[in-house]
Chain A
Amino acid sequence: AQKITQTQPGMFVQEKEAVTLDCTYDTSDPSYGLFWYKQPSSGEMIFLIYQGSYDQQNATEGRYSLNFQKARKSANLVISASQLGDSAMYFCAMREGTGGGADGLTFGKGTHLIIQP
C-alpha cells in the first residue's frame, strides 16, 4: 500500500485564490512527522512546513498552513492568497519513528500546481 498518497496530479488556480493540496498517509507507528516541500523547475526541494504526530495545533508558516486530521490520516497543505511564484511541484512526505534526523522520508508522487494570472 502507498504510504503517502497525493491524488491531484495537477491543479490550476487563479492568482490570489487559496489552494488546498491533498495528502493522505498510512502508518501504524504512533510517532511520525509530515513534511511539505516545494520543488520549482530548478529541482531544489524547498522545505515549507512540518507537523509532528503529537502536535496539538495545526502548523502554520506564513501563507502556508497544514490541515492535520489525524483520525482521517490526512495532512493537506493550504496556501492562502496564491502568487505566480507558487507555481511548482509540491510533495508531501512522511518520517516514521522517533525522528530527529534518524529516518529517511517517504514521498508522495507530487502535485503540479500552476497559478494563473
Chain B
Amino acid sequence: DAGVTQSPTHLIKTRGQQVTLRCSPKSGHDTVSWYQQALGQGPQFIFQYYEEEERQRGNFPDRFSGHQFPNYSSELNVNALLLGDSALYLCASSLTGGPDNEQFFGPGTRLTVL
C-alpha cells in the first residue's frame, strides 16, 4: 500500500520563476492538503483540495495556487517566486468523512529560490 508520494524531491529556482510541485495521496484517500515549512518553523497550512476544488485556504497570497485531478493527485503552483518561498513543501492526504486521526504526510519537496 503506497503512502503519500511527492515529486520532485529537491528543486532550485530563481526569483520571478514559476514552480509546480506534485503529490499523490495515500491509496483510499480523496483529500490533499499542502503545507509550507520554513527552516526552523512548524508547517503552515496553504490550502486543501477535495473533489477537484479548493475547499479551505490558509493565509497565503494568490501566487500560490493548486489543482486536484480526478485520480485525487494534486499540484501546487507558485508564481513569481520570492526568496522567502524557499522552504520544505509538504503534502498530506486524508479521507473526507473518514477517521479523524488520518492525516498522513509525504516526504516533502525542498524548494530553494536563489
Measured CB to CB, the residues of A under 8 A from B are: 4, 33, 35, 37, 42-47, 50, 52, 91, 93, 95, 99-110
Is there contact, CB below 8 Å, between A101 and B95? yes
Determine whether B48 belongs to the interface, using a CB cutoff of 8 Å to chain A.
yes
Nearest Cβ distance between residue A82 and chain B, in whole angstroms?
22
Nearest Cβ distance between residue A108 and chain B, in whole angstroms?
5
Is there contact, CB below 8 Å, between A99 and B105? no
Measured CB to CB, the residues of B under 8 A from A are: 29-31, 33, 35, 41-45, 47-48, 50, 55-56, 58, 88, 90, 92, 94-108, 110
A106 to B48 alpha-carbon distance, docked (Å): 13
Q: Known contacts A45-B90, A47-B103; is A101 also within 8 Å of B42 by CB?
A: no
- Interchain residue pairs A-B with the least CB separation, the first 9: A101-B94, A107-B42, A50-B101, A104-B45, A45-B105, A99-B100, A101-B31, A101-B96, A44-B107
Q: Which residues of B contact A101 (CB under 8 A)?
A: 29-31, 50, 94-98, 102-103
Among candidates A42, A45, A52, A106, residue contacting B100 with C-beta atoms closer than 8 Å: A52
Is there contact, CB below 8 Å, between A43 and B56? no
Is there contact, CB below 8 Å, between A37 and B105? yes
Nearest Cβ distance between residue B80 and chain A, in whole angstroms?
24
Q: Which residues of B contact A47 (CB under 8 A)?
A: 101, 103-105
Is there contact, CB below 8 Å, between A43 and B108? yes
Among candidates B33, B96, B106, residue contacting A100 with C-beta atoms closer than 8 Å: B96
Nearest Cβ distance between residue A105 and chain B, in whole angstroms?
6
Q: Which residues of A contact B108 (CB under 8 A)?
A: 43-45
| Minimal Cβ-Cβ distance residue in B for A108 | B42
Q: Known contacts A101-B31, A101-B103; is A45 also within 8 Å of B43 by CB?
A: yes
A100 to B93 alpha-carbon distance, docked (Å): 11
Among candidates A44, A95, A108, residue contacting B103 with C-beta atoms closer than 8 Å: A95
